[in-house]
Structure 1
Amino acid sequence: MAAHLSKILSDSEKVFDFVVNEGNGVKGLCDMGIQELPNQYIQPLEERITTSTVITDDSIPIIDASNWDDPKVADQICKAAQNWGFFQVINHGVPIQVLDNIKETSHRFFSLPAEEKKKYTKENSVSRNVRYGTSFTPEAEKTLGWRDYLSLVHVSHDEASLFWPTSCREEALEYLKRCDTVIRKILKSLIAGLNVKAIDEEKEQLLMGSKRINFNYYPKCPNPELSVGVGRHSDISTITVLLQDDIGGLYVKKIETNDWIHVPPVNGALVINIGDALQIMSNDKYKSVEHRVIANGSKNRVSVPIFLHPKPTSVIGPLQETLKNGEKPIYKQILYSDYTNIFFSKGHDRKDTIEFAKI
């Protein structure tokens, strides 16, 4: 084992083949007893998070949603979307047991033998809506992230029953179903804040025409100070609903000061963030913000985001309601699939993708 590992680590191409092309992921390196970070994962100094770059006495808003009908809840959601782009929701109605189950499921999937997980790589998966991989876009990234993932696009229950891995299928579907009310309540509040009176079928396709759930796995890293789990980026969703475990590691860039703020794990909370699509639709009233995930040197960490997207065939741009008082549109009307193609064709690049959409 040690000799085989040494042989792999001695050649950067062999590392890439082992992790990416052969589908072993960074967990495969950890399982072989890696003691030192391969060069591909060593981030440039400006991308590393240190105690000197982090503010610890500030935090994103925590919103109590025990009464969704209270106008104060909607007001807090809209203000957080404007001022932070991130917030946490507690007492949201999703049972703790469901949250615990999906975290346990994450660990269970990534504990499968490599041969089982390889069935879902880009080259092997029988469905384009099921994808197991590592980092973000390894072929386009200068430096890789210390993360493996499973991505599941929800088209229908029947399609999921056919193609999603049996080790996590039922739990993922149950989690999506339980989060649906939370998602709709949040979107209703955000859209009302843009003077949109109701979410009709057309608006629903624009806001949540596509759903994707990810299982993210961040193995214990031998040199966490040199690496990152996920590099700085903004999401391209309308909103993202994230479940963290109790380890923590998510950092958000504060809009006013550009300081990096840790998003502390809160038991039972869901972390919500605004994506580029909603920033565009709101004509910059709501903000998608940069965030990133550190590597961890002591434990294996998981997180489970649900990404709500427009349908690929949707055309997005500032909603007419955001321009009714004579405001000038900041963004053009663009096909959403064109936007996603740009995002996934390169490595994480802060918020550069949104520049493509500006007039």
Structure 2
Amino acid sequence: MAPSLDDESSLFNFVVRDGNGVKGIVDSGISKVPRPYIQPPAEQINKKNASKCEIPPIDLSKLDGPEHDEVANQIVRAAETLGFFQVVNHGVPIQLLDSLKQTAHNFFGLPAERKAVYRKEVSPSPLVKYGTSFVPEKEKALEWKDYISMGYTNENEALQQWPMECRDVALQYLKTSHEMVKKLLDVLMANLGVELDDSNIDAFIGKKMVNMNFYPTCPNPELTVGVGRHSDMGTLTILLQDGIGGLHVKVPEIIDMEKKEEWVEIPRIPGALVINIGDIYGVMEDIKVRSIEYEPQVQNLECLYQYLQVLEQHKRLHHYLK
């Protein structure tokens, strides 16, 4: 039964407690964004005023050849100045990335009762959480998204506890992307005078998570956000955009000799992965790497999916940076 959009308690129960998510609201046939999802003007991004990021993607395959130093410099420069960059020829097959997209489509298309079993309050596994918005019980304005988050400890636990609709493809992606992650960390940490080897690599990779975010079609996308502006805790976030795009990041700009910041849209490049530098680099002494605020924007014509691999800081990381 569809909720009353004017009854916030009914809407909250339908979306959050019953597991229908934002998708359930959209499927009910709404023609306007419900009031709890309307963001304050300061949180809204005017897409018409946002410029496009024209920085070309970095070809990671060249790290294995004579152009290694040049490509490494590109990575470091992007990390220090922008806090993000896109990579191609990263070693993750395009077919696998396409399978990730289909996997997310399959999961979020499940009936609400199938997804609701993974709500944080009732999930049978501490590794898996399905929800909507960030902390919907406390937020003044809700985010226009549904998500499934899967924490990784080991393969056996993932096989037993991750949703069957997601686990096989997500695990394959984690395995396949491991070499790419090592290459990126090798370059970033070498710039800080730290050499990675088998004794410390796990500390820099840290805890791994796979998040799949779903941003349903929105009748008034200018009034709401998919995820509120934020920077990521941890080491790196690897993000795959679907065919719609919609990711905006805040970047520094010098205007009339003054440093200002503006929102720019990260264009969707087929087969590319977006690398976001996490906050952990920004709080370490003498480290120049920049973390960024970013915000996915919802669309009024098509649904948007995002797939994130998050590498959280390991508790021993500071030991290796002394």
* TM norm structure 2: 0.93
CA distance in 1, matches of 2:44, 2:204: 34
In structure 1, what is the equivalent of residue 154 of structure 2?
156
In structure 1, what is the equivalent of residue 17 of structure 2?
21
CA distance in 1, matches of 2:56, 2:138: 35
CA contact (8 A) 2:21 2:146 kept: yes
Amino acid at match of 2:144: W
Aligned equivalent of 2:310, options 307, 310, 320: 307
| Larger relative contact order (Cα-Cα within 8 Å, sequence gap ≥ 6) | 2
CA contact (8 A) 1:283 1:319 kept: no
The Cα offsets for residues 62-110 of structure 1, whole Å up to 9 and x where unpaired, read as 2111222312121111110001000000111111100100011111100
Which one is further off, 28-37 or 150-159? 28-37
Q: Which runs of 5+ in 1 are unaligned?
A: 321-359
| Partner SS, residue 253 of structure 1 | strand
In the alignment, does 2:40 pair up with 1:44? yes
* Residues 1:301 and 1:273: Cα distance change in structure 2 (over 3 Å): same
CA distance in 2, matches of 1:299, 1:75: 37
Aligned equivalent of 1:223, options 220, 224, 245: 220
In structure 1, what is the equivalent of residue 257 of structure 2?
none
* RMSD between aligned residues: 1.7
**1:1-359 paired onto structure 2 within 5 Å:** 4-5=1-2, 7-56=3-52, 58-69=53-64, 70-201=68-199, 203-256=200-253, 257-281=260-284, 283-311=286-314, 313-314=315-316, 316=318, 319-320=321-322
CA distance in 2, matches of 1:63, 1:307: 20
CA contact (8 A) 1:281 1:317 kept: no
The Cα offsets for residues 188-235 of structure 1, whole Å up to 9 and x where unpaired, read as 10000111123453x333321200000110000111111110110000
CA distance in 2, matches of 1:92, 1:282: 30
CA contact (8 A) 2:192 2:287 kept: no
CA distance in 1, matches of 2:145, 2:28: 16
CA contact (8 A) 1:283 1:318 kept: no
* Residues 1:291 and 1:60: Cα distance change in structure 2 (over 3 Å): farther
CA distance in 2, matches of 1:316, 1:150: 30
CA distance in 2, matches of 1:282, 1:96: 38
| Partner SS, residue 259 of structure 1 | strand
| Partner SS, residue 228 of structure 2 | strand
* Residues 1:172 and 1:139: Cα distance change in structure 2 (over 3 Å): same
CA contact (8 A) 2:18 2:112 kept: no
| Partner SS, residue 4 of structure 2 | helix
CA distance in 2, matches of 1:314, 1:28: 42
CA contact (8 A) 1:188 1:199 kept: no
Amino acid at match of 2:138: A
In structure 2, what is the equivalent of residue 327 of structure 1?
none
Amino acid at match of 1:319: L
CA distance in 2, matches of 1:182, 1:152: 20
Amino acid at match of 2:173: Y
CA distance in 2, matches of 1:134, 1:283: 38
In structure 2, what is the equivalent of residue 334 of structure 1?
none
Task: Measure how far apart 1:279 and its partner are.
Answer: 2.0
| Partner SS, residue 230 of structure 1 | coil
The Cα offsets for residues 99-143 of structure 1, whole Å up to 9 and x where unpaired, read as 100011111100011110011111221111100001112122211
CA distance in 1, matches of 2:55, 2:134: 25
| Partner SS, residue 304 of structure 1 | strand
Amino acid at match of 2:211: N
CA contact (8 A) 1:59 1:261 kept: no
Amino acid at match of 1:67: K
| Partner SS, residue 195 of structure 2 | coil
| Partner SS, residue 13 of structure 1 | helix
In structure 2, what is the equivalent of residue 349 of structure 1?
none
Amino acid at match of 1:266: I
Runs of 4+ in 1 over 6 A off after TM superposition: none
CA contact (8 A) 1:277 1:316 kept: no
| Partner SS, residue 61 of structure 2 | coil
* Residues 1:123 and 1:67: Cα distance change in structure 2 (over 3 Å): same
Task: Measure how far apart 1:314 and its partner are.
Answer: 4.0
